[in-house]
Amino acid sequence: MRNPRLTCPLPLQAWALLICVPEPILAESCFVPSRPFLPSDSQAARDYADIIRRDFEDYIQDIQSYFRCLDSERARAFEEAREVSEDYGRFLQLVGD
């Protein structure tokens, strides 16, 4: 006779684990944009001025998005820390500490 726990497919086990987790456990990922390249050769800078200009403008937009992401993640982390602190206080009351 087979052990049903050993024949249970892994995705089902993973699904059961995810159901037990009350909140998302992963934080938002904020990706730092790459600095735009600025050639030291003035002729190359003139030759590729449109591309370089676009790279700088894209960087400025991306860094602003990055800052917004960091602000959002910081606020989320502070809220989570507050909730965990409250949970810990309840735990200490339960165990009598």
Residue 17, pLDDT > 50, answer no
**Predicted pLDDT at 26:** 52
Q: Cα–Cα distance between 95 and 87 in angstroms, integer?
A: 12
Q: Cα–Cα distance between 32 and 67 in angstroms, integer?
A: 9
Residue 60 contacts residue 36 (beta carbons within 8 Å)? no
pLDDT digits (tens, 9 = 90+) for 35-83: 999 999 999 999 999 999 999 999 999 999 999 999 999 999 999 999 9
